[in-house]
C-alpha cells in the first residue's frame, strides 16, 4: 500500500509533486497547504476527510475521483465540473473562488459555501436543502429548478433567480436580498 497516506500533518506543493504526483494515491485525514493542483488530472485519486488550505485546483479533472467530506479554505477552484463526483458527503467551502464551476443535478444538501465567490456557477436542478450560502457573491449564478428549501442566504450579493422555477420555501435571507427578489418580480416598492 505504498500509495495510501493517513493523517499526514501537512502536505505542501513540493511534497505532493515529489512524493505523490505520479501515483494515484489515497489520502485520508490529510491536510494540504499551498498546493497548486492547477489543471492537474486527479481522476483516480481518493481524498477522504481531507482539508485543503490556500490551494489552487482551477480546471482540475476530478472525473472518477473520490472526495469524501472535503473541506476547502481560501482556495481557488475555478472552472471545475463537480457533477461526475459521487458519494462525496457534504462539501465545505470557506472564502473560496468557485467561479464557472458546474454542480448540475448534484445533491448538495447541508453543504457549506461560506463567504465564497460563485460567479456564473451552475446549480441547475441541484438539491440544496439546508445549504449555507451566507455572504456569497452570486453574479450570474444559475439556480434554475434548484431546490433551495431552508437554505441560509443571508448577506448574499447579486442573487438573480426565477422564483417560478426555483424552490425558495423557508429560505433565510436578509431584508436587502428579499427586496431585490421582490423587485426582480416587477413589484414597485414605494
pLDDT tens column, 87-97 = 678 899 999 99
Higher pLDDT, 12 or 67: 67
Q: Is the pLDDT of residue 156 over 70?
A: yes
Q: Based on the domain organization, do 79 and 139 belong to the same domain?
A: no
Residue carrying the nine cell digits 473560496: 96
Q: Based on the domain organization, do 97 and 82 belong to the same domain?
A: no
Distance (Å, whole) CA 112 – CA 71: 9
Q: Domain of 113?
A: 93-190
Q: Is the pLDDT of residue 18 over 80?
A: no
- What pTM was computed for the model? 0.88
End of a domain among 89, 106, 125? 89
Diameter of the chain measured on Cα atoms: 68
Q: Based on the domain organization, do 182 and 133 belong to the same domain?
A: yes
Q: Based on the domain organization, do 79 and 4 belong to the same domain?
A: yes
Q: Based on the domain organization, do 103 and 187 belong to the same domain?
A: yes
The model's confidence at residue 4, banded by pLDDT at 50, 70 and 90, is low
Q: Based on the domain organization, do 185 and 106 belong to the same domain?
A: yes
Q: Based on the domain organization, do 36 and 2 belong to the same domain?
A: yes
Q: Based on the domain organization, do 79 and 116 belong to the same domain?
A: no
Distance (Å, whole) CA 155 – CA 22: 43
Q: Based on the domain organization, do 39 and 110 belong to the same domain?
A: no
Distance (Å, whole) CA 83 – CA 154: 26
Percent of the chain with pLDDT strictly greater than 90:
56
Q: Which residues of 74-107 are buried (b: 16+ CB within 10 A; e: fewer)?
A: ebbbbbbbbbebeebebbbbbebbbbbbbbeebe
Amino acid at each position: 500500500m505504498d500509495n495510501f497516506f493517513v493523517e499526514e500533518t501537512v502536505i505542501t506543493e513540493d511534497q505532493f509533486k515529489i512524493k505523490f504526483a505520479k501515483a494515484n494515491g489515497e489520502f485520508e485525514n490529510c491536510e494540504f497547504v499551498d498546493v497548486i493542483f492547477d489543471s492537474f488530472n486527479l481522476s483516480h485519486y481518493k481524498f477522504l476527510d481531507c482539508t485543503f488550505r490556500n490551494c489552487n485546483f482551477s480546471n482540475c479533472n476530478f472525473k472518477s475521483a473520490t472526495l469524501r467530506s472535503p473541506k476547502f479554505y481560501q482556495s481557488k477552484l475555478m472552472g471545475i465540473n463537480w457533477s461526475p463526483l459521487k458519494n462525496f458527503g457534504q462539501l465545505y467551502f470557506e472564502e473560496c473562488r468557485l467561479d464557472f464551476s458546474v454542480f448540475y443535478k448534484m445533491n448538495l444538501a447541508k453543504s457549506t459555501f461560506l463567504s465564497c465567490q460563485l460567479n456564473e456557477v451552475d446549480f441547475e436542478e441541484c438539491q440544496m436543502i439546508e445549504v449555507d450560502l451566507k455572504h456569497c457573491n452570486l453574479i450570474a449564478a444559475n439556480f434554475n429548478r434548484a431546490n433551495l428549501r431552508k437554505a441560509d442566504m443571508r448577506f448574499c450579493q447579486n442573487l438573480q433567480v426565477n422564483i417560478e422555477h426555483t424552490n425558495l420555501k423557508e429560505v433565510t435571507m436578509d431584508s436587502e436580498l428579499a427586496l431585490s427578489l421582490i423587485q426582480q418580480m416587477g413589484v414597485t416598492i414605494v
